[in-house]
Amino acid sequence: MPSVGIAGAGLTGRLLAFALLQKGWQITLFDSDQRTGGQSAAVVAAGMLAPYAELETAEPLVFGLGQRSLELWPQWLAALAEPVFFQQTGTLLIAHRQDRADMERFVSHIRAKLGERAELQSLSAIALADDPVLMARGFAFAVQAGRCAFLAGPLQPRDMASPSTPTLGMPFWHRQSS
Over residues 34-51, the pLDDT tens digits come to 777 677 766 665 567 888
Over residues 7-25, the pLDDT tens digits come to 888 878 888 888 899 899 9
Over residues 93-145, the pLDDT tens digits come to 777 888 889 888 888 888 888 877 777 766 666 667 788 788 878 878 887 88
**pLDDT for res 35:** 72
Over residues 76-98, the pLDDT tens digits come to 888 888 887 777 777 777 778 88
CA distance 122 to 106: 12
158/92: higher pLDDT:
92
